[in-house]
A and B are shown apart, each in its own frame.
Chain A
Amino acid sequence: MPNGRDNDLERKFPKLNSGSYRLKSPKDKKYNCFAFVANDNQHIWQYTGPGRLGGYFWPDEVEGDSLEDVMRVYGLLGFRACDNDELEPDIVKIAIYVDEDNTPTHAARQTRRGTWTSKLGWRGKDIEHSTLDLLAGNESDEYGTVARFMRRRRYDWEDTDQ
């Protein structure tokens, strides 16, 4: 994997120091990781309560942002829970990270060659990372642990730049 390094990023995610990753975009505030794994770069997917604060997207069908709620959101897009992150032909998998309270903190999408891609926060960059572990942990800005995997059939147009 080509490896444009980012010192600031490596300070915030120390495991990137020893891993393989590449930057895929400049910083962008228009979308977050939960949107990104669903191929949406125009919205910030965020549950803001029953009243739905303007500026965010969250499907009407789901009231809440627990791990189960987030899985329900991706379920609306055809994803189903699975138990591993192994690369399978014509299948796209996503991984959901949680913190110690089991609250979703991050999501990543598997590429066609088995690496992972994700958007760091809602202000950060898109990166491709060789493993999920590179963003896992409890140091600095790390996202906790991967709690769930989901899968669905990969669209032809998905991740064609890999």
Chain B
Amino acid sequence: MQSTIKNSRRKGIRPPELVLAMEPANQYRVPAEWERHYSPSFERFGIALEKTNWTAIDLAEQTHSAHSALRASGSFWEFVHPSPAPLQANAGVVQEFRVLAEKWISETEHTSSIKKACMHPAYQRIIGMGRNAIPLLLRELQDNPDHWFWALHAITGEDPGQDEDTFDGAVRAWLRWGREKGFI
């Protein structure tokens, strides 16, 4: 199924009305007027995207799971994850993140200015991954804490560690935030 979605990636019209509905977490909604292109099967949805020449990568990367379901909800169709997004299902994004993260860590090891380190191209590319990077950043923050606050803040606009002036304090605050939002 994943390959079907991947294969649908092409220059085309990115679904502009895609709404990331964060409450509750892990639900992604699309307008009901797209109904004719969808079916309650995620796989068929991928095929529909191919036929319509839309770029499905957003949905593929956001939803991750072959077990995602599509269901009608009021005037929207919802993609609903049965559980927090399984990261391993989207190996490409995970792999890209790992390569960039390791490159950044390696090449900024002795940089004293966090600000300068965050301008590193690899770090900027991680920020460019957008919301897809949030669970990966939080997982990294959990397993191998580093200065991912800047990226998380840039992507989410939030700063749960605002009252913290220590590294450990900010790590705890971001992980708490991630759990509350269902990212980890």
Cβ of A48 within 8 Å of any chain B Cβ, yes or no, is yes
Shortest C-beta distance, A89 to chain B (Å), equals: 29
- Nearest-Cβ distance from residue A67 to partner chain B, whole angstroms: 12
Interface presence of A105 (CB below 8 A): yes
How many Å lie between the Cα of A29 and that of B171 in the bound state? 12
Q: Are A30 and B168 also in contact (CB < 8 A) when A46-B115, A54-B173 are? A: yes
* B159 adjacent to A53 (CB under 8 Å): yes
Task: Give the contacts of A104-162 with B (CB-CB under 8 A).
Answer: 104-107, 119-124, 141, 143
**B146 and A55 contacting across the interface, CB-CB below 8 Å:** no
Bound: A3/B159 CA distance, A: 43
Task: Answer yes or no: B40 CB below 8 A from chain A CBs.
Answer: no
A63 to B109, CA, bound (A): 26
**Which B residues, 144 to 184, have Cβ-Cβ distances below 8 Å to chain A?**
145-147, 149-150, 153, 159-171, 173
- Complex Cα distance, B170 from A29, in Å, reads 13
Main secondary structure of the interface of A (DSSP, over half): loop
- The answer on a CB contact under 8 Å between A56 and B165 is yes
Secondary structure class of chain B's binding surface, majority of residues: loop
Q: Which residues of B contact A20 (CB under 8 A)?
A: none
A121 touches B109 (CB 8 A): yes
- Complex Cα distance, B167 from A42, in Å, reads 8
B73: interface (CB < 8 Å): no
- Given A54-B159, A54-B160, residue A43 in contact with residue B113 (CB < 8 A): no
- Report Cα–Cα, A56/B149, bound state, in Å: 10
- Asked whether, in the complex, the Cβ of B149 is within 8 Å of the Cβ of A122, the reply is no
Minimum CB–CB distance from A36 to chain B (whole Å) comes to 9
A selection of 30 A-B contacts at a CB cut-off of 8 Å is A12-B109, A30-B167, A30-B168, A34-B112, A42-B166, A44-B167, A46-B113, A46-B115, A48-B115, A48-B150, A52-B162, A53-B150, A53-B162, A54-B160, A54-B165, A55-B161, A55-B169, A56-B114, A57-B165, A103-B113, A104-B112, A105-B112, A105-B116, A120-B112, A121-B110, A121-B111, A122-B111, A123-B109, A124-B110, A143-B112
In the complex, chain B residues 110-151 whose Cβ is within 8 Å of any chain A Cβ: 110-116, 145-147, 149-150
Of all chain A residues, which has the CB nearest B164?
A: A54
Interface residues as binary, A25-52 with B (CB distance below 8 Å gives 1, 0 otherwise): 0000110111000000011101110011
A29-B145, A103-B116, A122-B147 given; A55·B110 CB < 8 A: no
* Least distance between A101 CB and chain B CB atoms (Å): 10
**A72 CA to B169 CA, complexed, in Å:** 26
Which interface class (under 10, 10 to 19, 20 to 34, 35 or more) fits A? 20 to 34
Interface centre among A46, A119, A120, A141, by most chain B C-beta atoms within 10 angstroms, is A46
CB-defined contacts of A33 to chain B, threshold 8 Å:
112
Contacts of A105 in B (CB 8 A): 111-113, 116
Complex Cα distance, B168 from A65, in Å, reads: 23
Which residue of A has the minimal Cβ distance to B159? A54
Residue of B nearest to A57 (CB): B165
Whether A55 contacts B167 by the Cβ 8 Å rule is yes
In the complex, what distance in Å separates the CA atom of A65 from the CA atom of B116?
11
Q: B90 at the A/B interface (Cβ < 8 Å)?
A: no
Tell me the chain B residues, 85-116 only, with Cβ under 8 Å from chain A.
105, 108-116
Give 13 A-B pairs besides A46-B113, A54-B170, A122-B112 with Cβ atoms closer than 8 angstroms.
A30-B166, A32-B114, A43-B166, A46-B115, A47-B115, A53-B159, A53-B161, A54-B173, A56-B170, A106-B112, A121-B108, A123-B109, A141-B109
